[in-house]
């Protein structure tokens, strides 16, 4: 019930316009929409839809008229690098983009399964994770308060040094000794 095109020569932007129109529609509605759309991407999607319908009827033995387009992805592929001639013998670089297109058909009420793997078991219990979260938050708060106290002491020392410019040298030595004492006291 899948069909894909690899490295098809259409820009992904242009292909995405038509993909949005038919994504999620039933197969007959999507075929009608594509037949009446005047775009190169519509011709490409029409052929891809016919291929997906053939895969569903031949490989899966299902009626494609009862299916819907479950998944339709348009991805960017490599690009051709070309050049456009310009004045004085120069060349303007130009890229011609290509696309990878994947289409998956499914039954209308059925959910699409990407990987039918077993769910992973949790590594730790919920009580362990909440305890570790609490300890992480408390350590973060402690580090933030320590940073705040350091900032306050540095601003006080700057104020003390700026206010002592006009005073005598004995006053500056006493003020710096006071600020050095205040720096050491929060670290203890």
Q: Which residues of 94-107 are buried (b: 16+ CB within 10 A; e: fewer)?
A: eeebbbbbbbbbbe
Tokens 């720096």 -> residue: 183
Q: Are 22 and 50 in contact (CB under 8 A)?
A: no
The pLDDT of residue 110: 74
pTM score, whole prediction: 0.58
In whole angstroms, give the CA distance from residue 173 to residue 158.
Answer: 14
User: Which of 74, 66, 79 lies closest to 26 in space, CA to CA?
Assistant: 66
To the nearest whole number, what is the mean pLDDT of the chain?
79
| pLDDT score of 48 more than 60 | yes
99: closest CA among 80, 81, 76, 79? 76
Report all structural domains of the chain as residue ranges with CATH numbers, in order of start.
2-107 (3.90.470.10)
CB-based contact 139:154 (threshold 8 Å): no
Distance CA 46, CA 29 (A): 12
Structure tokens at 148: 């705040």
Read off the pLDDT of residues 80-130 as tens digits, 9 standing for 90 and up.
999 999 999 999 999 999 999 999 999 987 766 665 565 565 555 555 555
């Amino acid at each position: 019930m899948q069909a894909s095109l690899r490295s098809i020569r259409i820009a992904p932007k242009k292909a995405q316009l038509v993909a949005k129109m038919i994504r999620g529609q039933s197969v007959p509605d999507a075929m009608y929409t594509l037949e009446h759309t005047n775009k190169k991407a519509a011709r490409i999607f029409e052929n891809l839809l016919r291929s997906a319908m053939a895969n569903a009827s031949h490989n899966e033995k299902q009626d494609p008229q009862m299916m819907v387009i479950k998944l339709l992805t348009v991805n960017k592929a490599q690009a051709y690098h070309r050049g456009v001639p310009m004045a004085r013998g120069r060349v303007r670089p130009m890229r011609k983009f290509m696309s990878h297109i994947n289409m998956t058909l499914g039954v209308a009420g059925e959910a699409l399964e990407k990987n039918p793997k077993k769910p992973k078991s949790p590594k730790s219990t919920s009580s362990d994770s909440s305890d570790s979260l609490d300890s992480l938050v408390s350590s973060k708060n402690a580090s933030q308060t320590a940073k705040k106290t350091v900032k306050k002491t540095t601003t006080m020392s700057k104020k003390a040094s700026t206010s002592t410019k006009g005073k005598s040298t004995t006053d500056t030595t006493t003020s710096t000794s006071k600020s050095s004492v205040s720096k050491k006291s929060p670290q203890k």
